[in-house]
Amino acid sequence: MNLNEIIELDKSYYMNTFGDRTPVCFEYGKGINLWDTEGKKYYDFMGGIAVNALGHAHPKLVEAIKKQAEKLIHCSNLYYIEKQAKLAKILVDNSCADKVFFANSGAEANEGAIKLARIYFKKKGFDNKYEIITLKNSFHGRTLGTVAATGQEKYQKYYTALLQKFVHVPINDIETLKAAVNENTCAIMLEPIQGESGVNPLTHEYIKAVKKLCDENNILLIFDEVQCGIGRTGELFAYQHFGVEPDIFTLAKALGGGVPIGAVCAKDFVAAAFEPGDHGSTFGGNPLACAAGIAVMEAIIEDKLVENSWNMGQYFKDKLSDLAKECSCISEVRGMGLMLGVQLNNDKAVEVKNKLFNRGYLVGSVGSNIIRLLPPLIITKSDIDDFVKVFGEILNEVKGDK
Ligand SMILES: Cc1ncc(COP(=O)(O)O)c(C=O)c1O
């Protein structure tokens, strides 16, 4: 099918929740490149929104999926699943967690974390300790529970009455957070770097103060690492930057390298609150998803992609900061590792994104003035140099284009 036929088919049969999509359909990929149905080549600086950590068609991931598909794609959680136990061990061995539960997406992992926090206190006899504090401009998912956790009204307004009881406070403001805490607070849940709202990092001081507040008030600390986990920020898990261990953290996106999987990772004392029948999933942690997860984790560790994420992230930031000196329309470059946001001081982010697309570069935009970059962790200096050159040309073009 050609692109127009695909667009027609989509418009006739697919629910229109994604608005006018970028008019392209990708047919295959390799490394950081994608090719569309018309044969045009692209450079992927969005990585499926932080999913394709290994890039496209990574041989280790493809081989693992192929081998597992030939043996066993799915088997119920009524039975033991070797790959599930092995992936859980890899996550535990490399993190502060003691136990893992697998879900199918980021939202579902966060639902699991919210349920775990609540059940933990219920079983301890704290009947009213169910309030969860999250941050303004956070994004935790699209299910009814996680949309209530998300601190953005635009995602909530049509879905009232929302699940009770989430309280949203501004980021990096410890006094307002302290004032929001009360005897019913059961957890504070946050993204160490807010992704969807434009790459907004929390400060070290804030995260340390949040941890102290949790410890002093018998509150669980939950980190949503759905986007910033799995090497994205230059540490395997973002919490490792801050010298603070969450009681629960969630993963998804890059964990399966594109095969849907999410994870709730927790310390033993809280994980023990989930007992048989308290939580579950048909697909969560099935053999195919876990085979993909193992391949991703092994490739990330063996190929030193966490280090690459940090080094290339620093290089990328430096190059973008150099560009900012020449190009007055960049007001800030922020983020960690390969999770970067470029703040423009005009409202031309969508135009810049579209022009980059026309030149074969895929990036994201947030609002009218932020460009979001989430390239695969395999990216090289020369990929970054090529991008920055084209980005600079386009920024100069739109600057003159009043
Ligand atoms: C931090 C964060 N949490 C949760 C989610 C939801 O994940 P999913 O779309 O897999 O449900 C996202 C998705 O963008 C995210 O960035």
Q: How far is the CA of 389 from the centre of ligand 1 (A)?
A: 31
Pairing between β-strand 364-366 and β-strand 193-194 as defined by DSSP bridges? unpaired
Q: In what order do the strands lie in the sheet with 26-30?
A: 26-30, 33-36, 41-44, 361-362
Mean pLDDT of 201-227: 98
Beta pairing partners, 193: 201
Digit-coded pLDDT (tens) for 48-89: 999 999 999 999 999 999 999 999 999 999 999 999 999 999
Which residue minimizes the CA distance to atom 8 of ligand 1? Answer: 106
Digit-coded pLDDT (tens) for 23-36: 999 999 999 999 99
CA distance 346 to 344: 5
**pLDDT confidence of residue 19:** 84
Q: How far is the CA of 324 from the centre of ligand 1 (A)?
A: 30
Is residue 335 predicted with pLDDT exceeding 70? yes
**CA gyration radius, the chain:** 21
CA distance 63 to 289: 13
Name the band, by pLDDT with cuts 50, 70 and 90, for residue 184. very high
**pLDDT confidence of residue 401:** 53
Digit-coded pLDDT (tens) for 353-390: 999 999 999 999 999 999 999 999 999 999 999 999 99
Which residue minimizes the CA distance to atom 3 of ligand 1? Answer: 140
Beta pairing partners, 123: none
Q: Is the CB of 139 under 6 A from ligand 1?
A: yes
Mean pLDDT of 327-354: 96
Return all residues near 341 (Cβ < 8 A) that are at least 6 apart: 198, 199, 200, 332, 333, 334, 335, 366, 370, 371, 372, 373
Is residue 278 predicted with pLDDT exceeding 60? yes
Q: Which atom of ligand 1 is nearest to the CA of 252?
A: 10
**pLDDT confidence of residue 20:** 80
Residue of 199, 253, 259, 261 best suited for mutating to test ligand 1, as the one with most atoms within 8 Å of CB: 253
Mean pLDDT of 285-291: 98
Q: Is the CB of 141 under 6 A from ligand 1?
A: yes
Is residue 402 predicted with pLDDT exceeding 50? no
Digit-coded pLDDT (tens) for 218-238: 999 999 999 999 999 999 999
Q: What is the mean pLDDT of the chain?
A: 97
Are 247 and 188 in contact, with CB atoms under 8 Å apart? Answer: no
Residue of 104, 137, 144, 227 best suited for mutating to test ligand 1, as the one with most atoms within 8 Å of CB: 227
Q: Is the CB of 224 under 6 A from ligand 1?
A: yes
Pairing between β-strand 262-266 and β-strand 248-251 as defined by DSSP bridges? antiparallel
Which segments of 160-229 does DSSP mark as H helices, in order? 174-180, 204-216
CA distance 42 to 246: 38
Q: How far is the CA of 49 from the centre of ligand 1 (A)?
A: 9
Q: How far is the CA of 105 from the centre of ligand 1 (A)?
A: 7
Residue of 18, 110, 134, 139 best suited for mutating to test ligand 1, as the one with most atoms within 8 Å of CB: 139
HEC letters along 20-59: CCCCCCEEEEEECEEEECCCCEEEECCHHHHCCCCCECCH
pTM of the shown model: 0.98
Mean pLDDT of 319-330: 95
Are 84 and 329 in contact, with CB atoms under 8 Å apart? Answer: no
